[in-house]
Amino acid sequence: MNCADLKVQFDAYLEGHADDASRRAVEEHLAACPDCYELLLSSDDELDSLLRSDWYSEAPSARFLHGVMMRVEKPAGFAPVLWLLPIWLLYTAMAAGLSLWIVVGNSILGVSLADLMSFIRSSRAVAMSLAQALRFLDINEAAVFMLFALSAASLAVIGHLGKEVLSWGKD
Amino acid sequence: MRDCELVMLCQKGQNTPFSTLVERHQSSVFGVALQILKSKEEAEDIAQEAFVRVYQKIRDGGTIDFLPYARKVAGNLALDRLRRQGMALRYLEQQASSPPSSYAETPEEAAMRNHDQLVLRRLIDELPQMYREVIVMHYAGGFSYEEIADKLGQPLSLVKNRLFRGKKLLKESYITEGVESV
């Protein structure tokens, strides 16, 4: 099919009256011929110019600009300290701390992991808060450092408590 | 001062020109994310992240056309978020509800907007999802046909076909709208 053939068959194609062979031929030509495609797309000047305007623009909230500048001007913070730590140690400590919190929550408070996951899934607000918290951790090394310290402290406290419990049996 | 001049000042280490660029283009970049995500909170988060990525690109010495680049970054991030959070179902549900309530404008905002653009936006919202997504990606996000085909995992011919049919549907709705409003 050439460009002239396309113009003859295109109306039937658009109206859904074209047979399978003609439909395939039109689609193959449109896929292979950028000129025909552009011509057809821009044949309606009024709609095309409207679509190329900023119809999608929408003013964000008043705090938007401030939020962007905060994110690009983040302080160096604890980064030099953080980079001295092996990354595997950081993640291991965080995972261990989280696991221990879940185990303690389960055994003492009766909160199972399934309950926790169900709660998170059921609450979009909580999910959004978590996403924001993760983003905050991603951009703020000080927060990551604090979480690491908190996880390490949890390990130490639980280890100490475990030692005490074991020592009771000996007394 | 033009965008390219402000970008050059940013490359020299100044932040104030970047703030001017964000202020100038925040509505467009936020609008792209909003059209895809349909949630003001998430769109703000994505648009802010897009500006941060643009800032990093500028600081790394990249030469960019500010607004088209920022729009494309916002579009990419918004699509990635949809995909990552498995929100396709929510997206489809929102297509069915018309007009979307999550970003309803106040009467003052609506009054300030060009009437034709308002009508166009509503008609695009009412399009079937498969046509709407290619129109939003192409005209708001600034993606080429090839990029859309790549992102949707669809043949180029199908993307072109949907774009054309989507525009045809829009035109028909636009005519009907005009007749009804007379």
Q: Tens digit of pLDDT for each residue in B36-72?
A: 888 899 999 999 999 999 999 998 888 889 999 999 9
As for the ipTM of the complex, it is 0.74
Contacts of A40 (CB under 8 A, 6+ apart): A10, A30, B164
Helices B40-59, B66-84: crossing angle, 10 deg rounding: 130
- Interface probe, candidates B27, B48, B120, chain A, greatest A C-beta count within 10 A: B48
Mean pLDDT of B119-132: 90
In this predicted structure, the answer to whether residue A121 has a pLDDT above a threshold of 70 is no
Q: B161, A50: Cβ pair inside 8 Å?
A: no
Model-level pTM? Answer: 0.58
In this predicted structure, the answer to whether residue B164 has a pLDDT above a threshold of 90 is no
- Angle (nearest 5°) at CA A2 between B156 and A9: 85
- Interface probe, candidates A68, A121, A135, chain B, greatest B C-beta count within 10 A: A68
Residue of chain A minimizing CA distance to B173: A47
A53-91 b/e (C-beta count within 10 Å ≥ 16 → b): ebbbbbebeeebbebbbebbeeeeebeeeeeeeeeeebe
In this predicted structure, the answer to whether residue B92 has a pLDDT above a threshold of 50 is no
Tell me what pLDDT residue B99 has. Answer: 45
Q: How far is B43 from chain A (nearest CA, A)?
A: 9
**Whether B81 contacts B73, CB under 8 Å:** no
A170 burial (CB, 10 Å; 0-12 / 13-18 / 19+) is: exposed
Q: A31, B156: Cβ pair inside 8 Å?
A: yes
Distance CA B179, CA B182 (A): 5
**Whether A31 contacts B157, CB under 8 Å:** yes
Contacts of B105 in chain A (CB under 8 A): 58
Distance CA A37, CA A34 (A): 5
**Could you give the 3-state DSSP secondary structure of residue B161?**
helix
Among B50, B56, B54, residue whose Cα is nearest residue B66: B54
Tell me what pLDDT residue B38 has. Answer: 84
In this predicted structure, the answer to whether residue A84 has a pLDDT above a threshold of 70 is no
In this predicted structure, the answer to whether residue B148 has a pLDDT above a threshold of 60 is yes
Contacts of B25 in chain A (CB under 8 A): none
- Angle (nearest 5°) at CA A51 between A48 and A53: 115
**Whether A55 contacts B120, CB under 8 Å:** yes
Residue with the bigger pLDDT between A23 and A141: it is A23
Lowest mean pLDDT among B77-81, B112-116, B121-125, B147-151: B112-116
Residue with the bigger pLDDT between B84 and B146: it is B146
Tell me what pLDDT residue B69 has. Answer: 94
Mean pLDDT of A101-123: 67
Instruction: Supply the DSSP symbol for A123.
Output: -
In this predicted structure, the answer to whether residue A154 has a pLDDT above a threshold of 50 is yes
Residues 40-69 of A with CB under 8 A from B: 40-41, 44, 47-48, 50-61, 64-65, 67-69
| B100: confidence class by pLDDT, cuts 50, 70, 90 | very low
Tell me what pLDDT residue B98 has. Answer: 44
Residue with the bigger pLDDT between B99 and B124: it is B124
Lowest mean pLDDT among A97-106, B95-104, B172-181: B95-104
Tell me what pLDDT residue A75 has. Answer: 55
Contacts of B23 in chain A (CB under 8 A): 65
In this predicted structure, the answer to whether residue B27 has a pLDDT above a threshold of 80 is yes
Residue with the bigger pLDDT between B68 and A52: it is B68
Contacts of A138 (CB under 8 A, 6+ apart): none
In this predicted structure, the answer to whether residue B181 has a pLDDT above a threshold of 60 is no
Q: Scan for tokens 């595997």, then name that residue.
A: A88
| B74: confidence class by pLDDT, cuts 50, 70, 90 | very high
**Whether A136 contacts B48, CB under 8 Å:** no
Lowest mean pLDDT among A23-37, A38-52, B89-103: B89-103
